[in-house]
Amino acid sequence: MDFTGKNIIVTGGASGIGKAVVEGIVNGGGHAIILDLNLESAEKVRDELGRDAISCYQVNLVDSAATKAVVANVLKDFIQVHGLVNNAGIVSTKPFDEITQEEWDKVMAINLTSVYATTSAIYPSMKKAGYGRIVNISSVAAKRGGGLLGTSAYAASKAGVIGLTKAVAREGAAFGVACNGVCPSFTVTPMTAIMADEQRQRVVDSIPLGRGANPKEIANVILFYVSDLASFVTGEISDVDGGITMDG
């Protein structure tokens, strides 16, 4: 996929699926802009993949005002930002009756409100330019109500991402701003590495393809949506889940 001349923000781009997306952007000749809490890890990715092809900004996505300020700084540093991949997120695994208000608020802040914050900060510039590609990472948990790794708080936050994706797609279409979503299932990343072997095997056994995804397999679909190959696609929510969902 060709990203020549394109500047694309990736939240949570320092590891896992986000890093795979950054690698795809760089390999396609684009400039990846990593927004991540862990600046040290982000800079290691830049050193690994190419210092001239990646820029790094530290951001705490729990803080919406700080998130919007960082995006504003990015817009000052680049003439145009062509794409945004809202990838950063956390998982919540507790049963519904054990979720505290504090955990609920944190999961919503990072998984849903941060998507609003970054998107609302970049949307006016995309609208003005008449061009934008936004990709939001949801989860199969949003459609299933959890059931794999994340539970109710996680599922609710990711369901909100789907609704927001479709709303932005509907409003942005007239201005050349496309917005699509991707729903991964179990993916082998640092976030899922903490799972016990028994729990991991139980999840894998529920996947028709019989394995977890490599981050690059999820990234391939994200990269398609953020590229011009998806020029006639907006408001689409794609399952990249090894066959778990199979919805119509």
pLDDT at residue 247 tops 90: no
Q: Is residue 1 part of a domain?
A: no
Report d(CA 55, CA 101) in Å as an integer.
35
| pLDDT per residue as tens digits for the range 22-77 | 999 999 999 999 999 999 999 999 999 999 999 999 999 999 999 999 999 999 99
199: confidence class by pLDDT, cuts 50, 70, 90: confident
Q: Could you tell me the residue range of the domain that residue 149 belongs to? A: 7-187+215-238
- The CATH number of the domain holding residue 129 is 3.40.50.720
What pLDDT, in 10s, does the model give residues 114-137?
Answer: 999 999 999 999 999 999 999 999
Q: How many CB atoms lie within 10 A of CB 184?
A: 25
Distance CA 45, CA 84 (A): 18
pLDDT of residue 248: 66
Classified as helix, coil or strand, 205 is: helix
Tell me the pLDDT tens digit for each residue of 1-26: 999 999 999 999 999 999 999 999 99
Number of domains forming the structure of the chain:
1
Q: Is residue 208 part of a domain?
A: no
Give the residue numbers marked as catalytic. Answer: 154
Residue 59 counted as domain residue: yes
Mean pLDDT, the chain, as a whole number? Answer: 95
